[in-house]
Amino acid sequence: MTTHKIGTREQWLKERLELLVAEKELTHRSDELARRRQELPWVRVDKEYRFETDGGNASLANHDVMLSAVSRAPLAKLQAYKRRMGWTFPWVSSFRSDFNADFNISFTEEQQREGVIEYNYRRGGHAMDVTPVPEPVELLAATTGTDVATYTRDRPGMSAFVLDDGVVYHTYSTYARGLDGLWGMYQWLDRAPRGRNETGVWWRRHDEYDNLSEVLDAVA
């Protein structure tokens, strides 16, 4: 038997309309934040970064915007993973480049050992910096086939750049929960009856659902 609040259609509609007001306020606030992002000063990028690419590219229609994922692994490894996942978006390799480190998504063993990692504009405070690491971080590291220390030295982030009159400028970066709005599955789950319902390892590759128990047994 459900323990959730049960109501009539009239009660639901009353509360839904109240929620709609709050959702519209959030939409307007989001519009304001977007404007402020676009008003940030641009920072000239004088350092040259070289990427390995398979020649693909993607355009966000009619906005003169290019989208590309960047990882430190060699290009051949990224291409093999793309084939496995069936992905088609552009994915370039920053192998032997300082790009990931310079834009704060990759860190050295020395930084990790000395506790000086600065992620999401502050030092410490992230789950990946806690000792001992939380169980979800340990489990996620296991699903990638590496140890916790290695797993936590590379983290998610998004950065935007503009090419203006032949000069590249850094315009925006966001990390950690700042990426929630870019992850489509979160937007769908936040509107589902039980929300994200995050317990244990719930984010899996599409071809791993049958052998997840083997992964968990390896961690135990």
Ramachandran angles phi, psi of 116, nearest 5°: -110, 20
Average pLDDT of the residues in 69-85? 95
Please tell me whether residues 49 and 34 are part of one structural domain.
no
In a domain, 30, yes or no: yes
pLDDT band (50, 70, 90) for residue 215: very low
Instruction: Say yes or no: 97 and 75 in one domain.
Output: yes
What's the average model confidence in pLDDT over 143-157?
Answer: 93
What proportion of the chain, given as a percentage, has pLDDT over 70? 91
Does the structure show a pLDDT above 50 at 122?
A: yes
> Average pLDDT for residues 145-161, to the nearest whole number?
95
Q: Which distant-in-sequence residues (6+ apart) come within 8 Å of 65 by Cβ? A: 59
Q: Which range is most confident: 135-139, 160-164, 196-200?
A: 160-164
Give the number of domains in the chain: 2
Q: Are residues 49 and 32 in the same domain?
A: no
Residues 24 and 72 in one domain: no
Q: Are residues 110 and 180 in the same domain?
A: yes
Q: Are residues 97 and 164 in the same domain?
A: yes
- Do 123 and 86 lie in one domain? The reply is yes
Q: In this structure, are 78 and 113 located in the same domain?
A: yes
What confidence tens digit (pLDDT) does each residue in 28-59 have? Answer: 999 999 999 999 999 999 999 999 998 755 56
**Residues 146-165: what's their mean pLDDT?**
95
208 within some domain: no
Q: How high is the pLDDT of residue 220?
A: 46
Q: At residue 131, does pLDDT exceed 90?
A: no
Q: 147 with 78, same domain?
A: yes
Classify burial at 5, counting beta carbons within 10 Å of its beta carbon; exposed 0-12, middle 13-18, buried 19 or more. exposed
Does residue 107 share a domain with residue 155? yes
**pLDDT at residue 61 greater than cutoff 70:** no
Q: Is the domain of 122 the same as that of 14?
A: no
Reported as a pLDDT band with limits 50, 70 and 90, residue 219 is very low
User: Do 170 and 65 share a structural domain?
Assistant: yes
For residue range 168-204, list pLDDT tens digits in order. Answer: 999 999 999 999 999 888 899 899 998 887 776 777 7
The residue range of the domain holding 16 is 7-39
**pLDDT score for 136:** 85
pTM confidence score:
0.85
In this structure, is residue 178 part of a structural domain?
yes
